Amino acid sequence: MNGSIFQIAARPIAVMQLLLALFLLLRGHNEPGGGFIGGLVAAAALILVAMAYDTNRAKKWMGFSSLAWIGGGLFIAMFSGFIPVLLEQPFLTAIWGPAVWLPLVEKVKLGTPLIFDIGVFLVVVGITTLIIFTLMDKEEA
């Protein structure tokens, strides 16, 4: 096994942080949490990976660039606002669907607030990683 203790510990800790971020995202509109805090926890996991290894490895974990995360999140959040308009309701009116039972989270109400939270989650991860990775890359140069 090659690597420092920090590198060895970073991967499982980051995975647990990402699971916590998903938990916070899914229960957010009913209890404390949501897209913003979930996004910060997910970004912290990616920053941990970047600190343990380098920004390139963290970017591989992300799958897409930070700008793609920001753009996708903005699109999803905006889309959630237009769903009620299609149903002749005011912009950003909450439209609720059925509740779904998920392990650990219990019941999650599906609806436009959850879609909006997912958009916020993506924007927060994208902006936070864009700022931190840019600073880390400049420090390495």
Query: What average pLDDT does range 125-141 have in this prediction?
Result: 91
Q: What is the C-alpha radius of gyration for the chain, rounded to an integer number of angstroms? A: 17
Out of 10-14, 74-78, 81-85, 120-124, pick the least confident: 81-85
Q: Tell me, what's the pLDDT at 141?
A: 62
**By the 8 A CB rule, do 7 and 52 touch?**
yes
Which residue range forms the structural domain that includes residue 72? 5-140
Query: What average pLDDT does range 112-125 have in this prediction?
Result: 95
Q: Tell me, what's the pLDDT at 44?
A: 98
Cα–Cα distance for residue pair 114/77, rounded to 1 Å: 10
Phi first, then psi: what are they for 62, rounded to 5°?
A: -70, -35
Q: Tell me, what's the pLDDT at 1?
A: 41
**Total domain count for the chain?**
1
Query: What average pLDDT does range 11-23 have in this prediction?
Result: 96
